[in-house]
Amino acid sequence: MTKLSVNINKIATLRNARGGNVPDLLQVAKDIQKFGANGITIHPRPDERHITYQDARDLKNVVYTEYNIEGNPQHNFIDLVLECKPDQVTLVPDAIGAITSNAGWDTVKHQSYLKEVVQEFQRNNIRVSIFVDPIEAMIDGAKETGSDRIELYTEVFAHQYGLGNQTAIEPFVKAAIRANELGLGINAGHDLSLDNIKFFKDNIPNLLEVSIGHALVSESLYLGFENVVNMYLNKLK
C-alpha cells in the first residue's frame, strides 16, 4: 500500500490568519495520525508565513508515524532539520516568496551542491528525497547525488487529468520506471486529490508515498478529516 503523508501547512495558514492557537496545529497532527494517516509533512519557508520553525520543533514530540520536512536546503533550513532529525527530508528548490512549489530540481546543474546536502543529512540518519519533474535526465541526476528517493512533482498531471487528459500520466510512468531501474524510492506530491489519486497510484509502479495537503484540507472542510483521510487510504490500497 502507498503511504499517505498529510501536509498540514494549511492548518498553520488558518491559525496564523487570526493569531493565537486556533486551530491547534499539534492537536490536528495528533488527530490526523489517529485517523490513520501514515505520516505528517510540513514545509516551513524562510518567512514562516504558515509553518514556523518552532512548529517544526514542537511537532517532533507529536509525530509518531513518519515525520517529513520539506524545504529549500539553505543554511537555516539545514540547521532546523539537523535539530529536529525527522524520518525524511524532502529537498525542494523554492524561490523566496513563491506561493507554492512550482518546479523540480535541475539535478544536473545543481548536482554537486545537492550531493553535499544529501550526504550531510544521511550522516545524521535522515532519509533524503529530491523533488523532481518527470524527466529521465533529472531522475538520473538525482541518483548521482546519492539521494534515497525522488518526489515526483505532479502539478502538470493533476491539471491535465482535470481536463480529461489521461495521457498526462505517461511521463510520470516513464520517470517511475527509470527510478525503479536505478533503485530510487518514489514519492509524489502537488495537487493530488481524491479525484485523481487512484488513477495516479494505479499507474505508477512501486509508488511508496504521497504527500497531500491543500486538496486534503479543502476536502475536509466539507467531509471532515477522519472521513477524508480514510477515503485516501482506501484509494491508495
The whole model's pTM is what? 0.95
Looking up cell 515525520, which residue turns up?
Answer: 67
224 in a labelled binding site:
no
> Could you tell me the CA-to-CA distances from 71 to 68, 101, 172, 221, 233 in Å, in that order?
10, 9, 22, 26, 25
State the Cα–Cα distance between residues 214 and 147, nearest whole angstrom.
26
Concerning whether 70 is annotated as a catalytic residue, the answer is yes
> Could you tell me the CA-to-CA distances from 61 to 22, 57, 122 in Å, in that order?
19, 8, 21
pLDDT at 206 > cutoff 60: yes
Q: Which amino acid is at 139?
A: I
State the Cα–Cα distance between residues 11 and 28, nearest whole angstrom.
8
Task: Let me know: does 222 contact 201? Beta carbons within 8 Å.
Answer: no
Q: Where are the beta strands (DSSP E) in the chain?
A: 3-7, 39-42, 66-71, 88-91, 127-132, 149-153, 185-189, 207-212
State the Cα–Cα distance between residues 109 and 31, nearest whole angstrom.
41
Look at residues 230, 166, 175 and name the one whose alpha carbon lies nearest to residue 204.
175
Question: What is the model's pLDDT at position 100?
Answer: 52
Question: What is the model's pLDDT at position 162?
Answer: 97
100 in a labelled binding site:
yes
Question: What is the model's pLDDT at position 7?
Answer: 98
Concerning whether 190 is annotated as a catalytic residue, the answer is yes
214 in a labelled binding site:
yes
Question: What is the model's pLDDT at position 99?
Answer: 46
> Could you tell me the CA-to-CA distances from 93 to 48, 84, 88, 126, 131 in Å, in that order?
16, 20, 16, 19, 8
Question: What is the model's pLDDT at position 97?
Answer: 52
State the Cα–Cα distance between residues 16 and 11, nearest whole angstrom.
9
Concerning whether 159 is annotated as a catalytic residue, the answer is no
pLDDT tens, 136-175?
Answer: 999 999 999 999 999 999 999 999 999 999 999 999 999 9
Q: Tell me what the pLDDT averaged over the chain comes to.
A: 96
pLDDT tens, 4-36?
Answer: 999 999 999 999 999 999 999 999 999 999 999
pLDDT tens, 44-102?
Answer: 998 899 999 999 999 999 999 999 999 999 999 999 999 999 999 999 997 655 545 56
pLDDT tens, 123-132?
Answer: 999 999 999 9
Q: Which amino acid is at 12?
A: A
Q: Say which of 66, 151, 190, 209 is annotated catalytic.
A: 190
Question: What is the model's pLDDT at position 236?
Answer: 98
State the Cα–Cα distance between residues 189 and 167, nearest whole angstrom.
18
159 in a labelled binding site:
no
